[in-house]
Amino acid sequence: MSKAIGILGGMGPAATVDLMARLIAATPAARDEDHLRLFVDNNPQVPNRNEAIAGGGESPAAALVAMAQGLERQGAELLAIACNSAHAWAGDIARATSVPLVSMIDATVAAIPVGTRRVGLLAADACLGAGLYQAPLMQAGHDVLVTEDQPGFMRLVYGVKAGDTGPDARAAMAAIARGLIDRGAEAIVAACTEVPLLLSQTDLPVPLVDSTDALVRRLIAEAAA
């Protein structure tokens, strides 16, 4: 029997629903009973991760720990966070719970095509500020490029949280990604779960490494182990 998965979500809600939908779509199933059991805490009241990392806001650690402990009490045998930036507090969660936390960061870095030297990193302010991807990417032998328009990128991320996934937003995200490609990126890492709601592989001439997809594949493998 597959392990039950507990998802710490709400950061943001649309990205959490996207993760759930992709888990369901990617699970080999011929009937309801073949699908994974999911416990989801879709909590949009988690303190803002970007403000916390910048030093101007409340830490989300207590909220994230409470969510993880609640999911474990409900029966979750694996935990996952539907937000890259919230992985800055993964250690707090791991210390407060007794079930494994499947890292979106580790899964994404491992999903980058072999031989890729330079990657373009699309990540929120908190994710960049905490260095969640830069160090593991460099340890894996990749050079890292970040966008020269981080404020514009963040406007698009917050736009998704407000429901804007229309053609103008999609074109703007694709332009930011192509800017990284023009500077030499051989792959684009969507290191924010809002990015795939605006950007797809068909928008780019280089591989798009989607952190949500990477987590989905890792969770399905871990749940079956």
The pLDDT tens digits for 7-21 are: 999 999 999 999 999
Confidence class of residue 67 from pLDDT cuts 50, 70 and 90?
very high
pLDDT at 124: 98
pLDDT exceeds 90 at position 172: yes
Amino acid at 152: G
Cis peptide before 12 (omega within 30 of 0): yes
* Of 83, 123, 128, 145, catalytic: 83
Pair of tokens at residue 113: 């095509």
Active-site annotation holds for 127: no
Residue 217 contacts residue 111 (beta carbons within 8 Å): yes
Give the number of residues written for the chain.
225
Active-site annotation holds for 192: yes
Confidence class of residue 30 from pLDDT cuts 50, 70 and 90?
very high
| Domains of the chain with CATH codes | 5-103+213-224 (3.40.50.1860), 105-211 (3.40.50.1860)
The pLDDT tens digits for 119-138 are: 999 999 999 999 999 999 99
pLDDT exceeds 90 at position 108: yes
Question: Kindly report the CA angle at 92 between 91 and 96, in degrees rounded to 5?
Answer: 115
| Beta bridge partners of residue 188, listed in sequence order | 120, 208
pLDDT exceeds 90 at position 220: yes
pLDDT at 180: 98
| C-alpha dihedral sign at 98, 18, 165, 184 | positive
> What would the DSSP string read from start to end of 116-152?
--EEEEE--HHHHHTTTTHHHHHHTT-EEEE-S-HHH
pLDDT at 60: 98
Q: How far apart are CA 97 and CA 92, in angstroms?
A: 9
pLDDT at 15: 97
pLDDT exceeds 90 at position 1: no
Q: How far apart are CA 124 and CA 128, in angstroms?
A: 6
**Residues near 112 by beta carbon (within 8 Å), at least 6 away in sequence:** 119, 137, 140, 142, 187, 189, 207, 209
SS3 66: helix
Q: What is the share, in percent, of the chain residues with pLDDT greater than 90?
A: 100
DSSP state of 49: H
pLDDT at 26: 98
* Of 123, 177, 188, 192, catalytic: 192
pTM of the predicted model, to two decimals?
Answer: 0.96
Mean pLDDT to the nearest integer, 64-78: 98
Give the pairing of strands 78-81 and 38-42.
Answer: unpaired
pLDDT exceeds 90 at position 93: yes
